[in-house]
Structure 1
Amino acid sequence: MLRAGWARIHYMIQECPQSPGRKRRGKVPLRYLIKQLVLPPGGLLLLLLLAWWWRRRRPRLARACAVLGLGGLWLLSLPVVVEHGARLLEREPALLVNEWPTLAQRAEAIVVLGGGRERGDPAWGGDQPSLLALERARLASRLHWASGLPILVSGGLHFGEPPSEAELFAEVLAEDFGVTVRWLEGRSRTTWENARLSAPLLRDAGVRRIVLVTQAWHMPRARWCFERMGFEVVPAPMGFLGVANGRPFGGWLPEALSVWQSSQLLNEAAGLLLYPLLYR
C-alpha cells in the first residue's frame, strides 16, 4: 500500500528540468503542475500566498509563512548556497582527460542521458537540445573520439510531442560533433526509465559495463538506476556546481540563476530519497 502510494505520487511528479514548451491535454500537464507547486520556488510562493490570505484571520501563522517563504527564496538565490549544497550531491570525481584513451579497457559503451529540449528555436528552425544536453553531448563526443566506444542516447518525449530527446541529441552529435550514435532509446521520461529502457538495447549487444555521462549533481541517482539494472558504471560527470562560485562578496548576493540551480539540487535530493522507496 505504502509503496503503491509513493509510486502514484511519483508518477504524477516526474522530473522535467527543461522548459515545458507546449503541452498536450491529459495527465502530463497535471503532473507538471503538481511538481511546480510542490518543489521550490513554487512551494515557497504558495507560502507567501498563504501569508497574504491569513494576514488578518491568523496573523501569527501568516508571519511564519511570510518568513519561511521569503527566507527560502533568499537562500535559493544565493550562489554560496548552491555551491555548498551541490557538494553534498556531487560525490563522483571528474573523469580525468588522461583516463579517456583507456576507457575501452573499463567499459563497452558510453551512455548519455537526455537533458531536455528547447521548443521551436527560430535560429535552428525547430526544437533543439537544452544547454544541459549540449554540455553532455560535448563530453560524450570527446570520450567517443578518445576511446572509440559506441554511444547510446536515452531520452523520450516530453509532454508526448515528438521529436524525442534522443533524436535531437543524435542529430546534434552527428552534425556538430561528427559522431554517429549506435543506439537510440526514445521512450523514457525519468531517470529510472532511462536505465530500464536502455538496458535491453545494451544487453542485446553484450554490454555490461558503461561510461555514464550526465551532470555531476544528477550522477548519484543516474548511477544508482543503472547499477540496479545490473550494469557496472564508470561515472563521467560534468557541469559541477560545487566549485568555488567566484562571485563578489563570496556569493552572498542573490542571483536569478541560483534559484534555478537550487531547484535542480532540491529535485535531485528528493529523487535520491524517493527512488529507493519506489524502485527495488
Structure 2
Amino acid sequence: MAGVDLQVLLHQLLGAVLLPPFVYLLPIVAGLLLWRRRPRLARALSWGGVLLAWLLALPVTAITLNGWLERYPPATLQQVRQTQAIVVLSGGKKPAPEYAANVLAADSAARLRYGAWLVRRSGLPLLLSGGAPLGGEAEAQVMAHSLRDDYALSPRWLEDKSNTTLQNAQFSVKLLREAGISRITLVTQAWHMRRALPFFQQQGLQVLPAPTGFTRYDGAGVLNWIPQGRALQENHQALRELLGALYYAVRSLLAG
C-alpha cells in the first residue's frame, strides 16, 4: 500500500497551522496566557479569536470568500459538444465499512455526477484523474468503480498517479495527446477551477471550464448570519484554496 505523498503531507501541516480552527484558537489561547500580565491585550486577543470563529462559521462569509474563487460560469451543452473529451478531477475518497470498500468523498462524488451527466448528453469520452495522495487505493480507481456501479458508464482513460492538481494536468495530457485530444471540458468544483484551469492550459490544451458545486444556500437575509457547521467547512476550503493560489503565485515568481 502506497504511503502518504511527502509534498501533500507538508501542505497538510502548513494548512493545519494557517487555517481554521488553529487560526482562531491561537489568539484565544494567547489571550488566556496573557490574562494576568497584559489584561487589555489578552481581552483583545481572546475576543478577536471569538469574533473570527463566529465569522468563519457564517454562510455570508462562505458566500463571499468562495465568490472570489468561483469566477467561471456553468458550461453549456453546446460548448461541451465542441470539445473532444471530458476530464474529471478527483476530490478525495474515504473508507466505507458498510461496503467494505472505499467510496468517494463529497467533492469527488459531485464532480463525477456532473461528469456522467455531461457524458450522457454529449457522447464524449471521459478521463478520470486522481492518484492516492494520502495512500491506499487511487481516487481515479474509486471513481471508476462508482461510475460503473452508479451510472453504468466506463471511462476511456484512467490517470491514477497524480497527487496534486498540477500533476493532474501533467499526467492527463500525456494520455490525451496519445489519442489526438487537444480540446477538453474540465470538471471540478467551482472554487477549485481558478487554480486547476491554468495548469491544464499550460500543457497546451484548449480548456472549457465546467465548474460544479457552487457555494449556495437556501434562504436569505438573517439566515446567512446564523453560524452553521457547513459554512465553517466551506470557509475552510475557500481559505485553503486562496492559500494554495498564493503558494503557486510565489513559486511561479521565484521561478521567474
TM-score where L is the length of structure 2 = 0.89
Deviation at 1:26, TM superposition (A): 7.2
One-letter amino acid of the structure 2 residue matched with residue 50 of structure 1? A
Q: What is the aligned partner in structure 2 of residue 187 from structure 1?
A: 161
Q: Deviations over 1:203-258 (max 9, x none)?
A: 222111110001111111111111122211111111110x4541562411101111
- CA 1:205–1:91 in 2, change beyond 3 Å: closer, same or farther? same
Matched, 1:127 2:107: no
Deviation at 1:28, TM superposition (A): 5.8
Q: What is the aligned partner in structure 1 of residue 196 from structure 2?
A: 222
SS in 1 for 2:145: helix
Q: Deviations over 1:116-154 (max 9, x none)?
A: 0112x1222121111111111111011111111111111
One-letter amino acid of the structure 2 residue matched with residue 80 of structure 1? V
Is 2:5–2:163's contact at 8 Å kept on the other side of the alignment?
A: no
Give the counterpart of 1:252 among 211, 225, 248: 225
Matched, 1:117 2:97: no
Is 2:86–2:186's contact at 8 Å kept on the other side of the alignment?
A: yes
Q: What is the aligned partner in structure 1 of residue 37 from structure 2?
A: 57
Matched, 1:167 2:144: no
Is 1:156–1:189's contact at 8 Å kept on the other side of the alignment?
A: yes
Deviation at 1:24, TM superposition (A): 5.9
Is 2:129–2:158's contact at 8 Å kept on the other side of the alignment?
A: yes
SS in 2 for 1:152: strand
Q: Deviations over 1:2-29 (max 9, x none)?
A: xxxxxxxxxxxxxxxxxxxxx8697765
- CA 1:63–1:230 in 2, change beyond 3 Å: closer, same or farther? farther
Give the counterpart of 1:269 among 222, 242, 248: 242
Is 1:109–1:150's contact at 8 Å kept on the other side of the alignment?
A: yes
Q: Deviations over 1:42-85 (max 9, x none)?
A: 22212222222222233333233223321111111011111122
- CA 1:238–1:66 in 2, change beyond 3 Å: closer, same or farther? same
**2 CA distance for matches of 1:193 and 1:145?**
27
SS in 1 for 2:127: strand
**2 CA distance for matches of 1:278 and 1:169?**
31
Gap regions ≥5 residues in structure 1: 1-22
SS in 2 for 1:141: helix
Give the number of equivalent residue pairs. 251
Q: What is the aligned partner in structure 2 of residue 35 from structure 1?
A: 15
One-letter amino acid of the structure 2 residue matched with residue 89 of structure 1? L
TM-score where L is the length of structure 1 = 0.82
Deviation at 1:41, TM superposition (A): 2.3
Give the counterpart of 1:236 among 187, 207, 210: 210
Identity of aligned residues (%): 39
